[in-house]
Amino acid sequence: MRSDHNNSRQWVFASLGTLLLCLTLVSTTTGCTNLLRTLVVLLHDPRIKPDYDIEKKKVALITTIDGISTSDASALVMANSFKDFIRYELKGKKVVFVDQEDVDRAFHDQPLDRPSFAQVGTQTGAECVVVINVKDLRLKRDKTLYQGSCECTVTVYEPKQGKGSVYQKEINDLVHPSSGKPITECTEAQFRGHYLNLLARRASRLFYKYDPSEDYALDAAASAL
């Protein structure tokens, strides 16, 4: 009897030991799996790197429509949306924007035919000047459909590097939505704000990492208006 009792106890302890080993292996495997997933994300980050680094910089932003007006409603929407995206995506990166009134005043001090954007930076104490110029802004494809399009150029100047630009990118492929949107579904003001917000997002992405797959949902965003 004693032998049978001892055998039973040994079986119980062996079973408990096996169970604990299994739990340990499962826990270790799960931990390894999570670690591997983290390493994959770090080593294969799908996001596209920024073209220009504005982290820890004091930035003067100039947004113009057809190279002239900074007080146009469209220019103001672009400027505000651009700043909001930068502040959100680069939160904690110490990007500081110069007060917009000071920037606009310095810009309007420049000659209309040949403004010196680097001089605007010097006058406002900015380390770099980001200039977003929107030309040929159109909001309708025909009388029944909204469809935004434009020619947009984003240029960066650094006063310490002279009067010339240090970076430039053209954004001419934002034709949105691809199939148009019936004008009966929203007001022109609503669609204008929507399109300019997308354009500001596209311009701001030049300065931080972003996932290119977000572009797949653009037409769906227009349907939500």
Give the pLDDT band of residue 71 (cuts 50, 70, 90).
confident
What pLDDT is stored for residue 222 in this prediction? 85
Tens digits of residue pLDDT in 150-170: 999 999 999 999 999 999 999
Tens digits of residue pLDDT in 173-220: 999 999 999 999 999 999 999 999 999 999 999 999 999 999 888 888
> Mapped to the 3 state alphabet, what secondary structure does the chain carry?
CHHHHHHHHHHHHHHHHHHHHHHHHHHHHHHHHHHHHHHHHHHCCCCECCCCCCCCCEEEEEEEECCCECCCHHHHHHHHHHHHHHHHHCCCCCCEECCHHHHHHHHHCCCCCCCCHHHHHHHHCCCEEEEEEEEEEEEECCCCEEEEEEEEEEEEECHHHCCCEEEEEEECCCCEEEEEEEHHHCCHHHHHHHHHHHHHHHHHHHHCCECHHHHHHHHHHHHCC
What pLDDT is stored for residue 43 in this prediction? 61
Give the pLDDT band of residue 221 (cuts 50, 70, 90).
confident
Listed range (68-77, 122-131, 153-162, 188-197) with the worst mean pLDDT: 68-77
pTM confidence score: 0.79
The pLDDT mean for the chain works out to: 86
